[in-house]
Structure 1
Amino acid sequence: MKTFGVLDHLEPKKVFKYFEILTKIPHGSYNCKAVSDFCVDFAKKRGLFVIQDDHYNVIIKKEASPSCAHKPALILQGHLDMVCQKDQGSPVDFTKDALELQIDGDFVSAKGTTLGGDDGIAVAYCLALLDDDSILHPPLEVVFTTEEEVGMEGATALDTSVLEGKYLLNIDSEEEGILLAGCAGGTTVKVSLPLKYKEMQGSLCRVSITGLLGGHSGTEIDKNRANAHILMGRLLCCVKGIHISRIYGALEQKDNAIPNECYAELICEDREAIEEAAAKLFQNFKEQFQGTDDGMEVRLEFSEMEKRDCLTQDAQDAVLYFLNHTPNGIHTMSRDIEGLVESSLNLGILKMDGEEISFSFGVRSSAPFYKEELAGCLESLARKLNGSYERVNDYPAWEYKKDSVLRDVFLKAYRQMYGKEMKVEMIHAGLECGIFASRIEGLDIVSFGPDIFDIHTTDERLSVPSVKRTWELLLKIIEEFP
């Protein structure tokens, strides 16, 4: 099996060369040292100015081409970390293994795992640009951040005082032909409930909800995709005579990924009752999520009599109350922009660990008061159930600007290249643009990128023709800027 050079024949060659290199370096969130060191070494070998901070953020500067020395500096920005999700049975260890790339027609994907096109393609574009002295360019300031996928921790910690540019190209969008000009702010909320146990004896039942599509909890929260954790809560709440021993999510969970699987282990008093309830709920689920989660499976596996430590009735009631009363999904839609989600939240992480069970939510809103409202609702639930509440990784919204030089340059270039208009939109997802805008006064920002489908899932795939077209657009922007 070919393990390297899979993308050698694809254009643009340097872009796909660096993209493939990145897939061979493990770079999930909180595991970015190796990929950060690679970028630093890349810069040093080419005599470029480079800074690496304690969070493994990297800033690389390249002086302008002589004919472009009069132009203002241009910042290009992407993030180094990726969301790590894998299919059941996949042998990939994201802490040390390379991804296994595959090509299917016009698409690049990874076998059984996420691809990391979000945001590896941005890093690949930037490295290819820095590696080509034939491209005429203004002063370039390339910024690679870390831990974007877990609350934008790298960007939050970054010292931006070294940056001189007032124009920033964020390459962290996944739809070609769409130019983003604003995004939601957000926060991460963690609720923990105390647990107590008692020993129970009975038939052991393992419940699994799998086969859901999942996806990005910002850009795909409006697609009516099922949340496996919420479904498990609904199912268990409808079954009488059960005692929960364990309830847990997938091995790899992120608060910004809609969970596509959930599991529970129960001691049950009446096998027929749980089979009947599960069959009825499964039919309801299939009808509710027809067309979005057609691969859904609900399975029950029974074994002989066992003794297990199970939740006390009070603890079990609290867990199921929380799962059945927590808000999840879309909260409000924008009144100004048709089809734009204004506020939402996603229960992305569910972990049961000894004496507590924890629930982690990604909360998003383009209106700050809705972010506070949703966080407050979760805090109230936590207090009602004698649990704890923690809020971390707040990041600001990126507000739309009426006047933008960068936006005008993009729209003109796109029109010239393709004879049609580029769409300008806002997005219900957190981008690091809001953090940079809050730190650098007068910063002009746009966000763009090639087509990447089903990010944050094992169906993630990157469009090869779109990567090429987006590269050509980037080169034209650099040529015509400002």
Structure 2
Amino acid sequence: MNTEIRELEPKELWNKFTDLNAVPRPSKKEERVIEFMVNFGKTLGLETFEDKVGNVIIKKPATSGMEDRQTVIMQSHLDMVHQKNNDTQFDFDTQGIDMFVDGDWVKAKGTTLGADNGIGVATIMAILESTTISHPAIEALFTIDEETGMTGAKGLEGGLLTGDILLNLDTEEDDEIGVGCAGGVDVTAIRSYNEEETPEFKTGYKITVKGLQGGHSGMDIHKGFGNANKLMNRLLFDGFENFGLRISEIDGGSLRNAIPRESRAIVVIDAMSEAAFHSEMDEISEAIKTEYKTLEPNLTIEITKVDTPKMMMDLGVQEGFTRALYAACNGVYRMSPDIPDLVETSNNIARVIVKDGEIKIACLTRSSVETSKWDLANMLRATFELTGCEVEFDGDYPGWKPDMDSNILKVLSTLYKEMNGKEAHVAACHAGLECGILGQNYPNMEMISFGPNIKGAHSPDERVQISSVQKYWKFVLEILKNIPKK
């Protein structure tokens, strides 16, 4: 499996990526990949250790003639987002990623690929293993749990690293040099409700929204992709307004940092209204698909009859719940007034669960401005509290403030122009990189972020461009040769 990937150039990078993708590495369950990385470093005879939270650090001395250069920290995260298509049979806890080549792209069969941030990890591994690549002293930092809380970066103690420059290999456009990113906070609304017995003469239906693109809730949030939870709520709201539809359960979305692609709801309606219900649902479904036909050509809304559920949500709670979800901000809240085309603040309504008397709504709010982040978080809190929910804030992490005068930015900008004949796009991004967190304990460290073209991150459409990886690899090697002297 994956033998064709190993034949791609640069082979040293693609072989390490293939080795890495054979190891299950979901966020919060990184034990196997931590062991894999520790064994890798020790097998090379390099100083290798795991810190108290699970980050792995491997140190390699400078190659001959490079001893007078500043020490470089090369950093990527070990965990990956686990998403799969609904009809894909795959166990992320036990199986390695099944990859294939499609033209100029490497993809996975029905699952996320793990190029985010596996290409960065593989890059560092290839450099650590090489006996021919010129480089200064390297401290390789492999963090854990970037995708669901950044607890690795948060738990990294000051003093473990001595490097002056940090190269974060977690950007997804090969013409971009990252100098800043958004911070974020998890916003979770919960409440219990009384269930009512379903009366006689009711009929059960399952409503399914699927086929959406999904994507990264930071990098893709401005693209206007459909959010399965918002679309489902629109159907439920309309069904209640017109036919007294009652909710039995909802299961929508998955991870906070992934735009939800699918949602499923079990509902009940009056048996005598079935024909009118079908007609109304078909009409609103077609209207939604027409609205999204350009961005979401594969959007499917299915209405199928099922056994009538025995219990349904309390009527008053249902009214408040659907109204709150309708009112809650999803998508771009504010564009940056200072940086063209940069999303400043956004929210992703990522997960909606209604079952067995419990409601949970999970959001990820992002912003490059702390005050704006909390403004939106409090707006969501107020919206959900008005319907009786308790709202919790968790997983707060800071953004990374751009330093447009850093020496490492000058090095990368100059090299990029020399190698490509044009200027790189120097930008902040709306994703949550670890640089801002790492900078709290290492405030004097210069930081920069870059990487190859990766599309569809956090979705089963994730893919990495082969030619871009080749371009990026050459860039990495030139950067290491041109690290400033101490």
Q: Quick one: which of 20, 23, 26 aligns to 2:21?
A: 23
| RMSD, matched Cα | 1.3
1:338 Cα offset (Å): 1.8
After TM superposition, the structure 1 stretch with the greater mean CA deviation from structure 2, 257-266 or 285-294, is 285-294
The 5 A counterparts of 1:29-108 are: 29-108=27-106
Give the letter aligned to residue 305 of structure 2. Answer: F
Q: Quick one: which of 161, 171, 174 aligns to 2:172?
A: 174
Distance across 1 between alignment mates of 2:278 and 2:151 = 45
- Mapped contact 2:249–2:355 kept (Cα < 8 A): no
Distance across 1 between alignment mates of 2:278 and 2:293 = 22
Q: Which residue of 2 aligns with 1:358?
A: 360
SS of the equivalent of 2:431 reads strand
Distance across 2 between alignment mates of 1:199 and 1:282 = 29
The 5 A counterparts of 1:287-436 are: 287-303=290-306, 306-436=308-438
Q: Which residue of 2 aligns with 1:268?
A: 269
Give the letter aligned to residue 173 of structure 1. Answer: T
1:354 Cα offset (Å): 2.5
SS of the equivalent of 1:161 reads coil
1:4 Cα offset (Å): 4.2
Deviations 1:81-130, CA, capped at 9 Å, x for gaps = 11111011211111111111111111111100000100000100000000
SS of the equivalent of 2:3 reads coil
Distance across 2 between alignment mates of 1:64 and 1:460 = 35
1:245 Cα offset (Å): 0.9
Q: Which residue of 2 aligns with 1:130?
A: 128
Q: Which residue of 2 aligns with 1:212?
A: 212
Distance across 2 between alignment mates of 1:438 and 1:10 = 39
1:433 Cα offset (Å): 0.8
Give the letter aligned to residue 206 of structure 1. Answer: K
- Mapped contact 1:193–1:385 kept (Cα < 8 A): no
1:205 Cα offset (Å): 0.4
Distance across 1 between alignment mates of 2:10 and 2:309 = 60
Give the letter aligned to residue 122 of structure 1. Answer: G
- Mapped contact 1:267–1:308 kept (Cα < 8 A): no
Distance across 2 between alignment mates of 1:26 and 1:402 = 38
Q: Quick one: which of 241, 244, 255 aligns to 2:244?
A: 241
Per the normalisation by structure 2, the TM-score is: 0.96
1:53 Cα offset (Å): 2.5
Distance across 2 between alignment mates of 1:307 and 1:168 = 55
Q: Which residue of 1 aligns with 2:144?
A: 146
Distance across 2 between alignment mates of 1:307 and 1:70 = 72
1:151 Cα offset (Å): 2.0
SS of the equivalent of 1:257 reads coil
Distance across 1 between alignment mates of 2:350 and 2:331 = 11
Deviations 1:394-420, CA, capped at 9 Å, x for gaps = 111111113111111111111221221
Q: Which residue of 1 aligns with 2:114?
A: 116
- Mapped contact 1:166–1:440 kept (Cα < 8 A): no
Consecutive unaligned residues of structure 1, counting only runs of 5 or more, are none
Per the normalisation by structure 1, the TM-score is: 0.97
Structure 1 moving runs of 4+ over 4 Å: none
1:314 Cα offset (Å): 1.4
Identity %: 35
Distance across 2 between alignment mates of 1:357 and 1:275 = 27
- Mapped contact 2:157–2:441 kept (Cα < 8 A): no
- Mapped contact 1:193–1:382 kept (Cα < 8 A): no
- Mapped contact 1:218–1:364 kept (Cα < 8 A): yes
Distance across 1 between alignment mates of 2:2 and 2:169 = 25
Q: Which residue of 2 aligns with 1:277?
A: 280
SS of the equivalent of 1:369 reads helix
1:353 Cα offset (Å): 4.2
- Mapped contact 2:167–2:447 kept (Cα < 8 A): yes
Distance across 2 between alignment mates of 1:248 and 1:307 = 15
Q: Which residue of 1 aligns with 2:260?
A: 259
Task: Label 1:186 to 1:244 Cα distance change in 2 as closer, same or farther (>3 A).
Answer: same
Distance across 2 between alignment mates of 1:408 and 1:87 = 42
Distance across 2 between alignment mates of 1:88 and 1:54 = 37
1:25 Cα offset (Å): 0.7
Task: Label 1:376 to 1:121 Cα distance change in 2 as closer, same or farther (>3 A).
Answer: same
- Mapped contact 2:156–2:438 kept (Cα < 8 A): no
Give the length in aligned residue pairs: 477
Distance across 2 between alignment mates of 1:459 and 1:60 = 32
Distance across 1 between alignment mates of 2:422 and 2:2 = 38
1:318 Cα offset (Å): 2.3
